[in-house]
Amino acid sequence: MMITKLSRNFRMLSTGAALSLLMMTAPSAFAETPKDTLVEGFAIDDIITMDPGEAFELSTAEITSNSYSLLVRLDMDDTSKVKGDLADSWSVSDDGLTYTFKLKSGMKFASGNPITAEDVAWSFERAVKLDKSPAFILTQFGLTGDNVTEKAKAADAGTFVFTVDKAYAPSFVLNCLTATVASVVDKKLVMDHVKAVTPDAEHKYDNDFGNEWLKTGYAGSGAFKLREWRANEVVVLERNDNYYGDKAKLNRVIYRYMKESSAQRLALEAGDIDIARNLEPGDIDAVSKNADLATTSAPKGTIYYVSLNNKNENLKKPEVQEAFKYLVDYDAIGATLIKGIGEIHQTFLPKGQLGALDENPYKLDVAKAKELLAKAGVPDGFSITMDVRNSQPVTGIAESMQQTLAQAGVKMEIIPGDGKQTLTKYRARTHDMYIGQWGSDYFDPNSNADTFTGNPDNSDAGTVKTLAWRNTWEAPELDKEAKAALLERDAAKRAAIYQDIQKKYLANSPFVFIFQQTEVAGYRKNLKDFKLGPSFDTNFVGPIAKE
């Protein structure tokens, strides 16, 4: 009897459980994303601020370029050129020092305020005086807090005049102005939100130029306006109806923070997101086989490389450096680990930039490498460590190199770590080998040429900490050549100099370049006109529509 009573209770309990399960299944017609809204799954965990004068992260650049305007932008049809955005036309003075921009007329910010040359001038002044991470892109033209109001100023409401300190190649100056730090902010709106601060040695001005407010606020004029950013959760953009260009087709764009490739794929298949941005090769395969989904790709300016620290006595030898270039199985890596997300590329300028050299002379050649190691006095190899961040494809590439290096007697130990952990060690130059990725700071060959060759002070206390510095390597001749390229005003001649530097670099440098990233996205087929751009800040959402 006791048993029957208990069973009855138990039966009621299980019935309850079954009922609640039923309740969950009832509406199996799954809610899709709204028709007027685009939802992207994207690893946006690098975002730390939305202020265009401060932001320097890859995801932020994409958001900024969709929500702010620039004087000039990269020309999508030929990325070695620029075209006007706010600027209608521009001219360079004969001495190469003064750039005069004429603005288009009748433009407005999202707030409704008119866009004038005064806003452009103040945006430059603000970025220079704030002096945050990306400010060097402007200050390298000789701008300082003291002279910026003179060197970047409005001649009248529709004319902006920019004066540089040397007769740089115009392609260099204009490319730098396409960087997000040169975004134009709404002076009037930002001024309403500036916070008073007490000047000190670090910050000589009595206000914060609206930095605190703009970290999460918005004062732009792009196709979309920023509605909200919640760290590691979501970025919400809304259409800017005051936009002077082609109006965005959708009302709202939502970037949802999703880190994992598999989670993005699940959500894409279920229709909970429209675009998956961080798919790994296996998931790309699955997506491309699904009839409701499609993939698209574009080469990006990001280069993956392995660097050898010259503090290590063995890695310092040029023969060893060359031997390592023969000890990478490029073919296998290209066919498996980076299939669909990158292509083998062995020089420091990414395809698409002015002067990029498309030569991949190295192949896996153990015999040749052994010869070089013998010449270097280490015929039996040696032991070495490599710092590797815990993410694909770098982990896979490191493991592949571990095997190929072993074939020549080099024992490589992998030290895995979190991205910030490996980077901390790399910046302190206490590594042996490091596998890294490098994206140009601005879409001009100087960005990479400078960091891979420049190293004016190789001491630990050196202040210009380029990638060459991080690997304790000096190449004064190459650096000189790169500096000269900056003043070459003929674009074709300038390109030739960079090609020459890359050729010399291939033969002799402690950097083993492996591949250039191809960005891939999976999307639902009801999307129209979705394209990835050639750089991280050219993935525009304005033209996208939904069927």
Partner 1 sequence: MSTVETTSEARPRKGRARAFAKALGRFLFAAVTTYLGLLAVTFFIGRVVPIDPVLAILGDRAPNHVVERVRQEMGFNLPLYQQFFIYIKGILSGDFGNSVLTTNPVMVDIRRVLPATIELATLGTLIGAFVGVPLGVLAAVRRGSIADQVVRVVGLVGYSVPIFWLALISLVIFYAQLRWVAFPGRIDIVFEYTFTPITGLYLLDSAWQGQWDVFYDVFRHIILPASLLGYFSLAYISRMTRSFMLNELSQEYIVAARAKGLSETRVIWGHALRNAAVPLVTVIALSYAGLLEGSVLTETVFSWPGIGLYITNSLQNADMNAVLGGTIVIGTVFIGINLLSDLLYRTLDPRTRNR
Give the footprint of partner 1 on this chain (CB under 8 A): 1-3, 5-6, 9-10, 13, 17, 20-21, 24-25, 28, 30-31, 33-34, 37, 39, 45-46, 48-49, 55-57, 131-133, 135-136, 202, 212, 215-216, 230-233, 254, 256-258, 263, 266-267, 269-270, 272, 417-421, 423-425, 427, 439, 441, 463-465
Q: What span, in angstroms and rounded, lies between the C-alpha atoms of 479 and 186?
A: 39
Q: How far is the CB of 520 from partner 1 (least distance, A)?
A: 21
Question: Whose Cβ is closer to partner 1: residue 229's or residue 511's?
Answer: 229
Going by their DSSP bridges, the two strands 98-103 and 87-92 should be labelled as: antiparallel
Question: Whose Cβ is closer to partner 1: residue 81's or residue 215's?
Answer: 215
Tokens 């975002």: give the residue. 47
Backbone phi, then psi, for 336, in 5-degree steps? Answer: -120, -65
Give the C-alpha distances (Å, rounded to integers) separating 391 from 189, 248, 261, 385, 422.
41, 35, 11, 18, 12
Q: How far is the CB of 164 from partner 1 (least distance, A)?
A: 20
Going by their DSSP bridges, the two strands 152-156 and 159-163 should be labelled as: antiparallel
Whether residue 141 contacts residue 164, with contact meaning beta carbons closer than 8 Å, is answered with yes
Give the C-alpha distances (Å, rounded to integers) separating 536 from 94, 180, 448, 504.
34, 11, 15, 28
Q: How far is the CB of 227 from partner 1 (least distance, A)?
A: 9
Q: How far is the CB of 296 from partner 1 (least distance, A)?
A: 23
Question: Whose Cβ is closer to partner 1: residue 3's or residue 492's?
Answer: 3
In sequence order, what are the beta bridge partners of 511? 307
Instruction: Find, among 167, 171, 168, the residue nearest to 79 by Cα.
Output: 171
Q: How far is the CB of 17 from partner 1 (least distance, A)?
A: 8
Question: Whose Cβ is closer to partner 1: residue 55's or residue 320's?
Answer: 55
Backbone phi, then psi, for 174, in 5-degree steps? Answer: -65, -40
Q: How far is the CB of 170 from partner 1 (least distance, A)?
A: 24
Question: Whose Cβ is closer to partner 1: residue 119's or residue 441's?
Answer: 441
Question: Whose Cβ is closer to partner 1: residue 271's or residue 396's?
Answer: 271
Question: Whose Cβ is closer to partner 1: residue 427's or residue 528's?
Answer: 427
Question: Whose Cβ is closer to partner 1: residue 181's or residue 497's?
Answer: 181
Q: How far is the CB of 34 from partner 1 (least distance, A)?
A: 6
List the structure tokens of 1.
């009897």
Question: Whose Cβ is closer to partner 1: residue 103's or residue 181's?
Answer: 181
Whether residue 185 contacts residue 215, with contact meaning beta carbons closer than 8 Å, is answered with no
Instruction: Find, among 211, 122, 63, the residue nearest to 537 by Cα.
Output: 63
Q: How far is the CB of 464 from partner 1 (least distance, A)?
A: 7
Backbone phi, then psi, for 505, in 5-degree steps? Answer: -65, -40
Q: How far is the CB of 300 from partner 1 (least distance, A)?
A: 15
Q: What span, in angstroms and rounded, lies between the C-alpha atoms of 218 and 216?
A: 7
List the structure tokens of 235.
């970025």
Give the Cα-Cα-Cα angle 108, 112, 116 (nearest 5 degrees). Answer: 40
